[in-house]
Amino acid sequence: MRKKARCLIIGSGPAGYTAAIYAARANLEPLLYEGMQPGGQLTTTTEVENYPGYPEGITGTEMMNDFKKQAERYGAIIKSGRATAVDFSVSPKKVTIDNEFVIEADTVIISTGATAKYLGIPDETKYAGQGVSACATCDGFFYRKKKVAVVGGGDTACEEATFLSGLADKVYMIVRKDHLRASQIMQDRVMSNPKIEILFEHNTLGLYGENGVEGVHLVKRLGESDEEKVDIAIDGFFLAIGHHPNTDIFKGQLKLDDVGYIDTEVPSTKTSVEGVFAAGDVADSLYRQAVTAAGTGCRAAMDAERYLSENKL
List the catalytic residue out of 123, 139, 235, 281: 139
Which residue is closest to ligand NDP by CB?
A: 154
Binding pattern for the stretch 131-170 against ligand NDP, x by CB under 6 A and - elsewhere: --------------------xxxxxxx-x-----------
Q: Which of 76, 151 has the CB closer to ligand NDP?
A: 151
Least Å distance, CB 175 to ligand NDP, is 6
Using CA atoms, how far apart are residues 126 and 222, in angstroms rounded to an integer?
24
Residue-wise burial string across 197-227, b where 16 or more C-beta atoms lie within 10 A, e elsewhere = ebbebbbbbbbebeeebbbbbbbeeeeeeee
**Segment interacting with ligand NDP (CB under 6 A) among 31-39, 139-147, 175-183, 223-231:** 175-183
Shortest distance in whole angstroms from residue 205 CB to ligand NDP: 12
Residue of the chain from 48, 241, 249, 276 that contacts ligand NDP (CB under 6 A): 241
Instruction: Please identify, using beta-carbon distances, which residue of 126 and 181 lies nearer to ligand NDP.
Output: 181
Minimum CB distance to ligand NDP smaller for 124 or for 214? 124
Cα–Cα dist 235/169, whole Å? 11
- Going by DSSP bridges, is the β-strand pair 58-59/77-79 parallel, antiparallel, or unpaired? unpaired
Q: Confirm or reject binding of residue 119 to ligand NDP (CB under 6 A).
A: yes
Residue 69's region, left for phi above 0, alpha for psi from -120 to 50, else beta, is alpha
Residue 17: partners with Cβ closer than 8 Å, 6 or more residues away: 32, 64, 67, 68, 70, 71, 294, 297
Q: Considering the complex, state which of residue 159 and residue 305 has its C-beta at the smaller distance from ligand NDP.
A: 159
Q: Count other C-beta atoms under 10 Å from residue 252's C-beta.
A: 9
What's the min distance (Å) between Cβ of 308 and ligand NDP?
Answer: 34
β-strand 215-220 against 202-208: which pairing, if any? antiparallel
> Which candidate in 106, 135, 281, 284 is catalytic?
135
Told to check if 253 binds ligand NDP by CB under 6 A, we report no
Contact 88, 273 (CB under 8 A): yes
Cα–Cα distance for residue pair 85/97, rounded to 1 Å: 7
d(CA 246, CA 283): 10
Q: Which of residues 264-293 bind ligand NDP (CB under 6 A)?
A: 285
Give the integer Cα–Cα distance in Å for 42 and 205: 27
Which member of 181, 189, 195, 220 binds ligand NDP (CB under 6 A)?
181
Q: Which of residues 37-76 bind ligand NDP (CB under 6 A)?
A: none
Size of the site for ligand NDP (CB under 6 A): 15
Of 242, 260, 273, 291, which lies in the binding site for ligand NDP, with binding defined by CB under 6 A?
242
Q: What is the C-alpha separation between 308 and 13, in angstroms, rounded? A: 24
Does 177 participate in binding ligand NDP (rule CB under 6 A)? yes
Is 139 assigned a catalytic role? yes
Amino acid at 18: T
Binding residues (CB under 6 A) for ligand NDP: these are 119, 151-157, 159, 176-177, 181, 241-242, 285
Catalytic site positions: 135, 138-139
